[in-house]
Copies of this chain bind each other. A is one copy, B any other.
């Protein structure tokens, strides 16, 4: 009766989770904490063995990660990231980077091996979105200005999570922490993310809205789940983590008009599997091991809480927020949570880290979660205390820094030109990235699926020609767009760089040359890049040259049409992102 055995285990987990959620809600403590403790209580390591074989529970609790990341993606969106503001973004990057570095150092100080130390850094780097937002809404402070900063930091960290997850996966599989591997990997990752996002943005929100138009929840839910798990699978196949795929497709679905409806349908699933996930974390914990590693766990928890509070508070102050707001935001970030579990699970399941990392991560998170609500409530006391203690020169410094920052805001006209420059450069970057993606996909197809081609009786050279030609002709609208944007950039720079007061009569000529030079240089760089990237699929020289010539010819003849195709693609993309 294996069947009943599984339902028995699941029933026990759900009963305990249900009781816990009521109890911890009444105690005004984070429910996550309760789930984990309940898991330890009913786990195989404690006397009252209730769930003896957590294998299947563990299997389906992994769905919790996928659904968790998907809903985080749904809440994250490009629009929100743009609203976060560059300042908060910098603070988030600084905070995550410094915590990663501190964690690595701490691990080495404990005498752990390199990979364990690196995973410890990852575990310490990312704050818990679930705990932070829950604490905010429960403390009733969600409407204050600092809450927006915290949400901004969390959104920015969500993005960094992806980077860290991917890096650690690569390290775990490859076993090396070499810089070159890391950079190659980040390159691949960037391509995957950008290509995935752009293709996704063009297709997914339309599909979701189309299905939502049926007006049947079941159809919308099941097809969204198909998208979610499909993207996770795709990410896993490409060598990234399932969490990454789920997060990306979530952030793409977030741009659909019916994304709120989707959120509404997915939330109960997320809540159920999140409960399972956190109870399953507890199930894996042997309390005896916790006692053994109590000292490092306490030390790490102390470092996490002070480190995150200090870095975030200082960062927020540095970008111009008043000390009270800065400290409030800082203490709100002072915990780790679900991402730490995801990272620890990753390390464990890939066999990359020592066994003790997992319980240590759990212990640290539990400590932080338990203390977090009290810490948030004591933020104002902290600020007042510091004010009393601080010597008066320091207080003067604080005030004058704020005043100085106020004077730094960019002046009107310059701000407009800077925005124009930024937009042109961004457009060029995105289009170049897409061209590169097309050729990399071509190389990928060439490397992996040559069985298809031999089926049609193509030789190696013919195969290369077909793939290369396809990539080239599909790139045409993008290349033309790059050329046009580069032209605009050249004109703008010429206007700005060559003032009439300096160049006198030659102003026009010099400006004209500069305006031509920049697009031509861009195209040259692009050609080099493409032939380097496409080197594995380059057809024989003569064929390549004649294809390139044909490409140029087509571009010139169909210029208007290709411009229109590109404009339509761009408009579709912008519509999806910019819809309110």
Contact = CB atoms under 8 A, between A and B. Distances in A.
A144 B18 CA distance: 42
A59 interface: yes
A31 B223 contact: no
B14 A225 contact: yes
Contacts of A62: 3, 6-7
Interface string A1-40: 1111011101110111111011001000001000000000
B218 A14 contact: no
A196 to B, nearest CB: 16
Nearest to A17: B222
A412 to B, nearest CB: 47
B272 A226 contact: no
B217 A14 contact: no
Interface residues of A, number: 55
B221 A271 contact: yes
A341 to B, nearest CB: 14
A15 B268 contact: no
Contacts of A41: none
A225 B274 CA distance: 13
Contacts of A218: 21, 31, 271, 275
Contact of A7 (B3, B19, B56, B63): B63
Nearest to A58: B3
Contacts of A319: none
B271 A272 contact: no
A275 B216 CA distance: 14
Contact of A222 (B8, B21, B56, B233): B21
A22 B218 CA distance: 10
A7 B58 CA distance: 12
A33 to B, nearest CB: 14
A466 interface: no
Contacts of A230: 11, 14-15, 18
A15 B226 contact: yes
Contacts of A219: 21-22, 25, 31
A492 interface: no
A59 B3 contact: yes
B18 A224 contact: yes
A231 B3 CA distance: 16
A226 B10 CA distance: 9
A222 B223 CA distance: 24
A217 B10 contact: no
B269 A272 contact: yes
A106 interface: no
A223 B18 contact: yes
A247 to B, nearest CB: 15
A229 interface: yes
A181 to B, nearest CB: 21
Contacts of A329: none
A266 interface: yes
A229 B272 contact: no
18 contacts: A7-B233, A11-B233, A14-B225, A14-B228, A17-B222, A17-B226, A18-B226, A19-B223, A21-B219, A25-B219, A217-B267, A217-B268, A218-B271, A218-B275, A221-B268, A222-B272, A267-B268, A268-B269
Given A4-B236, A22-B223, 12 more contacts: A2-B59, A10-B63, A11-B232, A14-B222, A15-B226, A15-B230, A18-B230, A21-B222, A56-B59, A222-B272, A225-B272, A266-B268
Interface of A: 1-4, 6-8, 10-12, 14-19, 21-22, 25, 31, 56, 59-60, 62-63, 66, 211, 214, 216-219, 221-230, 232-233, 236, 242, 265-269, 271-272, 275, 349
